[in-house]
Amino acid sequence: MSIEQPRGSHDLQQSESGEVEHPERFENPGLPPHRPRLGDEDPKANKRSEHQVVVLFVISIIATIAAIWGFFAFPVDGLQVGNVRMSTLVIGLGLGLGMLGIGVGAVHWAKTLMNDHEKVEERHPQRGDDATRAEAVDIMREGVEDSAIARRPLIKGALGTAVAIAPLSFLVPLIGNLGGDWDISKFRHTAWASAPGGGRRYLATDPTDRRIKASEVTRGSMVHVQPWRLEEEENFLEEKTKAVVILMRLDPKLLKEPEEKKDWSYDGIVAYSKVCTHVGCPVALYEQQTHHVLCPCHQSTFDITDQAKVIFGPAKRPLPQLPITVDEEGYLYAQSDFHEPVGPSFWERER
Amino acid sequence: MTAATNAPAEKADPRLAAAADFLDTRVGISKIVKEFARKIFPDHWSFLLGEIALYSFIVLLISGTFLTMFFVPSMAETHYPTDALPVTMQGVQMSEAYASTIHMSFHVRGGLLMRQIHHWAALLFVGAMVVHMLRIFFTGAFRRPRELNWLVGFTLLIMGLLAGFSGYSLPDDVLSGNGLRIADGVALAIPIIGSYVSFALFGGEFPGDDIIPRLFTVHILLVPGLILALIAVHLFLIVWHKHTQYPGPGRTQKNVVGFPLFPIYTAKAGGFFFIVFGVIALMGATMSINSVWNYGPYDPSVVSAGAQPDWYMLFLEGSLRLMPGLEVVIGGFTLSLAILIPGVILPGLLFTFLGLYPFIERAVTKDTGEHHLLDRPRNAATRTALGAGFLAVWFVLIGAGANDLIATHFNVSLNLITWIFRILFFVLPVVTFLVTKRICFGLQRKDRELALHGHETGRIVRFASGEFIEVHQPLDEYERWLLVSHDSPAPLQIDPPEDANGVARPGYKKERRWQKLSQFFYEDRIEPVTPAELAAAQSHGEHDELPATEAHEEITSEDSAGQIEARTH
């Protein structure tokens, strides 16, 4: 790989031919000669550059004036969308060209008119020389001796402990309050358990909040569902986050239902949590031919015919099923809450 | 030379002199001027990348200040006024944060412009930081004495991501809400404390009423404050160390060649700020971004298909998408590996490698001494290959973050694409590493070739014997210096495992391990051309040196091209 000449034989050749011995490495040739710019030798080009710089700065001035004109010319308090567009465009173009004029002008000035001879500055190593280092050590040693900390370990220990724990009286109240009531058992319950007052919790369309009759649910369709009249309750968004459900009607023969969940569906209508068991996005895409639902965030795919089992993607657990049934008038309602926590996994989930 | 430099010193403006005297007697400005005004900085386009990051941050501060005047960081519920634009949002129930965002877009003059400038500047800020960091990495600018500044820059990148994510979440639209939901899902996957982390973030259950005001404080106070402080340290260290420079004639480890701060860089760098600002402003004026009124207010049951986060979050999104479902229950506790690995562990490993790289390389190569001359990436083949492999992982993750768009745009099965990315995640970095290393060596050999034989001139010369040769133009010493000045370190040499008496040497195994790592870095290498090699090449290739002899002067390159044609047909 490396093409190395055996040094000895090479030297021999040289001495035979009487040439000077070659150094091991090349010498740095030093700065290359300065190449003059057009404007350095041609006064006309020089003058031209000067004019260009002035023109650029003038463009900036004009653009800024245009931006201010745009501010007054296009009021946006009415209902004209066109004015919003024009206001944005004119103020933006004015601001942009105003800035560009200054910037391009300054850089053009520096590149064409300012002295372009490279200059050299020496560097100094970061490390202090030995004398300075020794002096620094002495200074620190002297300071430590002056403080007498070495001979008084008790002070050291007490101070260290005090400083280390002092932030706690700030951090404990801060962190302690961050989580509100810290009642993580809320992850386990949803609004489906019962309506306020203990009544049946009906399934309703999301977001129009109409109760759903079983007969309205046609095969091949998917209905987005929320608990009926949830909007009027406290913590609406938090409850809705957990309680959203998707409702589908399939040919009952297609459904693979274990014995204990036989009565969780109604005449081929099944309800599953809409919250993805991966990281909690709404599982909103339904493929009616294959009966798969797909989470648009990370593409976890669930098979509705088979207990919403995961067939692709990063989710691990099936979507929890909501046991449903119908009342006397044919409206769908939840038999009970979900039988497991909905949404993403968490540490205490199985407890 | 212009006339001004030769003219006699002008009499100073008395008002200027008075001002200077005022400052000097108060803060000793003359000493500061003496020290810094003519400080030399080297010139190269790649040194502008960090400047772009800095200037887009200033644009962020300016446009962000504008936005805070009209944004309401509150999740309180409200109904959008029925007499305001956009028509689609009239009377819709939403949070104050979302309402104020769309209100400022339609009913504050310059409001939409500033929002778009702010968003474009944020994308550019992170982008410039990433590319700047790549420049630092591939040129070896992180080496002693600049390791600490690398860490400062690394922290700035993390802060930039935090600033971006916290800002993205503020408008409280459907996209940002789902972004927060994903963040919540990742927080929940943290072992032991996950549930409590989620509660701490949201002040209770997701989404709660606290997250927007909290993120607002993080976004406009904590993170920018930290970024400003870190930028101050970053810039101070640049001045303290003096800027690195590319190798070239006249440049050494002990000097810095370039132009003085005043007036050249005052004009160039100052001007460049206005250029960056101007370009971002033009983008904000003409290119629509994050039109949140199209997405609607956050609703936990709504999501849009084909949604992507801002580009700098794509790698995390892709990492989550690639992972197969994996979850274990240990002693009744759930460990959600499907999220923990791609969402916490993998980014943790990638960032740790990135942050610690200067120290890793130094430990392996046992490199000592200060480096102020940059490496040309080809001359540090292993580092360049490692960086390219790292980038390969990153690009695979970014691609995976867009797998749904690839599927819909190219009509390919989503599952197939995901599987391809899963395989590429492991294969591509290795292939990239090997290929990059070979490309580096190829370029090094090309450099050797060029230094030894010079440029091809395209002039073909025919000798009396009938032999054709192409005349090569030897390099001048300035051009050659760039190709021959670098060092090519050799792998670590260690003592044999046994001493002279055949007794096993203690510590040999440890040394051998270091040697193996060192061999990984330096075993394959190509030495730069030495003066002796050049002399040898010139002596046995005498006819290469014919170009200036009169006998061949009349052979032009067109003639020789004709000759080649004639020969090949």
CB atoms within 10 A of CB A284: 21
* Spatial separation of the C-alpha atoms in residues B461 and B484, rounded to whole Å: 29
Beta strands in B431-500 (DSSP E): 455-462, 468-473
Amino acid in the structure at residue A62: I
Amino acid in the structure at residue A187: F
- Indicate whether A8 pLDDT > 70: no
Q: Is B91 helix (H, G, I), strand (E, B) or coil?
A: coil
Q: Is the dihedral of CA B518, B523, B525, B531 positive or negative?
A: positive
Q: Is the separation of the CB atoms in A318 and A308 below 8 Å?
A: yes
Interface residue B252 vs chain A (CB under 8 A): yes
Could you tell me the pLDDT band of residue B10, with boundaries at 50, 70 and 90? low
pLDDT digits (tens, 9 = 90+) for B313-324: 999 999 999 999
Interface residue B272 vs chain A (CB under 8 A): yes
Contact A116 B5 (CB under 8 A): no
> What is the predicted pLDDT for the residue at B556?
43
The DSSP string of B196-239 is HHHHHHHTSSSSTTTHHHHHHHIIIIIHHHHHHHHHHHHHHHHH
Query: Whose CA is closest to A89, among B280, B86, B281?
Result: B281
Complex-level ipTM:
0.90
Q: Is B540 helix (H, G, I), strand (E, B) or coil?
A: helix
Q: How far is CA B476 from CA B250, B450, B453, B483, in A?
A: 14, 11, 12, 11
The rounded mean pLDDT for chain B is 90
> What is the predicted pLDDT for the residue at B57?
98
User: Which of A236, A238, A297 is the best mutation test for B, with the most CBs of B within 10 A?
Assistant: A297
- Indicate whether A18 pLDDT > 90: no
Structure token digits, residue A118: 């490279």
CB-CB: which of B207, B326, B403 is closest to A237? B207
> What is the predicted pLDDT for the residue at A20?
66
CB-CB: which of B200, B372, B532 is closest to A178? B200
> What is the predicted pLDDT for the residue at B56?
97
CATH number at residue B152: 1.20.810.10
What percent of chain B is predicted at pLDDT more than 90? 78
pLDDT digits (tens, 9 = 90+) for B328-373: 999 999 999 999 999 999 999 999 999 999 999 998 888 888 999 9
Burial of A248 (0-12, 13-18, 19+ CB in 10 A): buried
Q: Is B494 helix (H, G, I), strand (E, B) or coil?
A: coil
Contact A92 B305 (CB under 8 A): no
* CA nearest to A294 within chain B: B305
Q: Is the dihedral of CA B124, B126, B130, B135 positive or negative?
A: positive
Mean pLDDT, rounded, for B273-298: 96
pLDDT digits (tens, 9 = 90+) for A200-220: 999 999 889 999 999 999 988
Based on the structure, what is the number of domains in chain B? 2
> What is the predicted pLDDT for the residue at B503?
85
Answer whether residue B185 is part of any domain. Answer: yes
List, in order, residues 6 or more apart from B281 with CB less than 8 Å away.
A92, A95, A96, A99, B113, B117
Structure token digits, residue B13: 């403006």
Amino acid in the structure at residue B90: Q
* Spatial separation of the C-alpha atoms in residues A64 and A96, rounded to whole Å: 9
The DSSP string of A79-111 is S-HHHHHHHHHHHHHHHHHHHHHHHHHHHHHHH
* Spatial separation of the C-alpha atoms in residues B297 and B97, rounded to whole Å: 9
> What is the predicted pLDDT for the residue at B540?
66
CB atoms within 10 A of CB B81: 13
Answer whether residue B413 is part of any domain. Answer: no
Angle of CA points B27, B33, B34, to nearest 5°: 115
* CA nearest to B482 within chain A: A28
Phi, psi of A284 (to 5 degrees): -110, -10
Answer whether residue B153 is part of any domain. Answer: yes
The rounded mean pLDDT for chain A is 90
Mean pLDDT, rounded, for A234-239: 90
Answer whether residue B396 is part of any domain. Answer: no
Q: Is the separation of the CB atoms in A84 and B85 below 8 Å?
A: yes
Pick the CATH number of A186-334 from 3.30.70.20, 3.30.460.10, 2.102.10.10, 3.20.20.140: 2.102.10.10
* CA nearest to B211 within chain A: A178
- Indicate whether A329 pLDDT > 70: yes
Mean pLDDT, rounded, for A6-34: 66
Interface residue B217 vs chain A (CB under 8 A): no
Q: Is the separation of the CB atoms in B485 and B251 below 8 Å?
A: no
* Spatial separation of the C-alpha atoms in residues A333 and A231, rounded to whole Å: 17
Burial of A226 (0-12, 13-18, 19+ CB in 10 A): buried
Mean pLDDT, rounded, for B528-556: 63
> What is the predicted pLDDT for the residue at B498?
82
Residues of B in contact with A1 (CB under 8 A): 441, 524-526
- Indicate whether B545 pLDDT > 80: no
Choose the final residue of a domain: B233, B266, B299: B299
Closest approach of A46 to chain B, Cα-based (Å): 10
Q: Is the separation of the CB atoms in A94 and A63 below 8 Å?
A: yes
Structure token digits, residue B217: 């404080």
Q: How far is CA A163 from CA A149, A160, B289, B512, in A?
A: 16, 5, 48, 44
Contact B285 A88 (CB under 8 A): yes
Residue B489's domain comprises 444-568
* CA nearest to B415 within chain A: A312
Contact A121 B277 (CB under 8 A): no
Q: Is the dihedral of CA B253, B259, B262, B267 positive or negative?
A: negative
> What is the predicted pLDDT for the residue at B297?
94
pLDDT digits (tens, 9 = 90+) for A247-276: 999 998 999 999 999 899 999 999 999 999
Q: Is the separation of the CB atoms in B277 and B120 below 8 Å?
A: no
* Spatial separation of the C-alpha atoms in residues B415 and A98, rounded to whole Å: 50
Task: For chain A, give the number of residues.
Answer: 351
Mean pLDDT, rounded, for A64-88: 94
* Spatial separation of the C-alpha atoms in residues B460 and B452, rounded to whole Å: 19
Could you tell me the pLDDT band of residue B542, with boundaries at 50, 70 and 90? low
* Spatial separation of the C-alpha atoms in residues B216 and B287, rounded to whole Å: 25
Q: How far is CA A77 from CA A92, B85, B196, in A?
A: 19, 9, 46
Answer whether residue B337 is part of any domain. Answer: no
The DSSP string of B131-143 is HHHHHHHHHTTTS
Structure token digits, residue B119: 């968003």
Q: Is A339 helix (H, G, I), strand (E, B) or coil?
A: coil
Query: Whose CA is closest to B197, among B350, B340, B348, B349?
Result: B340
* Spatial separation of the C-alpha atoms in residues B373 and B251, rounded to whole Å: 8
* Spatial separation of the C-alpha atoms in residues B390 and A115, rounded to whole Å: 42
User: Which of B299, B336, B522, B526 is the best mutation test for A, with the most CBs of A within 10 A?
Assistant: B336
List, in order, residues 6 or more apart from B366 with CB less than 8 Å away.
B492, B514, B518
Per-residue 3-state assignment (H helix, E strand, C coil) for B3-21? HHHHCCCCCCCHHHHHHHH
Answer whether residue B288 is part of any domain. Answer: yes
- Indicate whether A4 pLDDT > 70: no
* Spatial separation of the C-alpha atoms in residues A120 and B65, rounded to whole Å: 41
Interface residue B532 vs chain A (CB under 8 A): yes
Greater pLDDT, B413 or B538: B413
* Spatial separation of the C-alpha atoms in residues B133 and B156, rounded to whole Å: 11
Query: Whose CA is closest to B178, among B66, B59, B313?
Result: B313
> What is the predicted pLDDT for the residue at A22?
85
Q: Which helix (H) or strand (E) holds B569?
A: none
Q: Is the separation of the CB atoms in B56 and B128 below 8 Å?
A: yes
List, in order, residues 6 or more apart from A233 with CB less than 8 Å away.
A191, A196, A239
Q: Is A228 helix (H, G, I), strand (E, B) or coil?
A: coil
Mean pLDDT, rounded, for B426-443: 97
Answer whether residue B390 is part of any domain. Answer: no
Q: Is the separation of the CB atoms in A69 and A152 below 8 Å?
A: no
* Spatial separation of the C-alpha atoms in residues B153 and A175, rounded to whole Å: 29
- Indicate whether B560 pLDDT > 50: no
Please list the residue range(s) of chain A that carry CATH number 2.102.10.10.
186-334
Peptide bond into B249 cis (omega under 30): no
Q: Is the separation of the CB atoms in B273 and B286 below 8 Å?
A: no
* Spatial separation of the C-alpha atoms in residues B457 and B479, rounded to whole Å: 16
- DSSP letter at A219? B
Q: Which helix (H) or strand (E) holds B36?
A: helix B29-36
Q: Which helix (H) or strand (E) holds B552?
A: none
* Spatial separation of the C-alpha atoms in residues B96 and B112, rounded to whole Å: 17
* CA nearest to A7 within chain B: B532
Least confident of B150-154, B190-194, B551-555: B551-555
Interface residue B107 vs chain A (CB under 8 A): yes
What's the whole-model pTM score? 0.91
Q: Is the separation of the CB atoms in A233 and A239 below 8 Å?
A: yes
Q: Is A312 helix (H, G, I), strand (E, B) or coil?
A: strand
* Spatial separation of the C-alpha atoms in residues B421 and B426, rounded to whole Å: 9
What percent of chain B is predicted at pLDDT more than 70? 93
